[in-house]
Amino acid sequence: MKIKFNSLKSKERLIEMAIVNPSLSKNLSIQIEVEQRNEGSIPHVHVYHDHTRNPRKCSYIRLDVPEYSTHHGKDKNKVMNKKVKDQFLKIMETEISDIAIKDLNGDFYSPTGYQFAVYTWSKTFEDGSLSKFLTDENRRIINLDYSNI
Domain limits, the chain: 13-125
Q: What is the dihedral of CA 97, 101, 46, 73, to 10 degrees?
A: 170
pLDDT at 98: 93
What type of residue is 128? G
Residue numbers of the chain with a pLDDT score lower than 70 = 1-15, 72-73, 75
pLDDT at 43: 95
Total residue length of the chain: 149
pLDDT at 6: 43
pLDDT at 10: 46
pLDDT at 32: 96
pLDDT at 15: 53
Long-range pairs of 18-24 with CB within 8 A, sequence gap ≥ 24: 18/116, 18/117, 18/120, 20/45, 20/91, 20/92, 20/113, 20/116, 20/117, 21/91, 21/94, 21/96, 21/113, 21/116, 23/96, 23/98, 24/90, 24/91, 24/94, 24/96, 24/113
Whole-number Å distance between alpha carbons of 51 and 44: 19
pLDDT at 38: 80
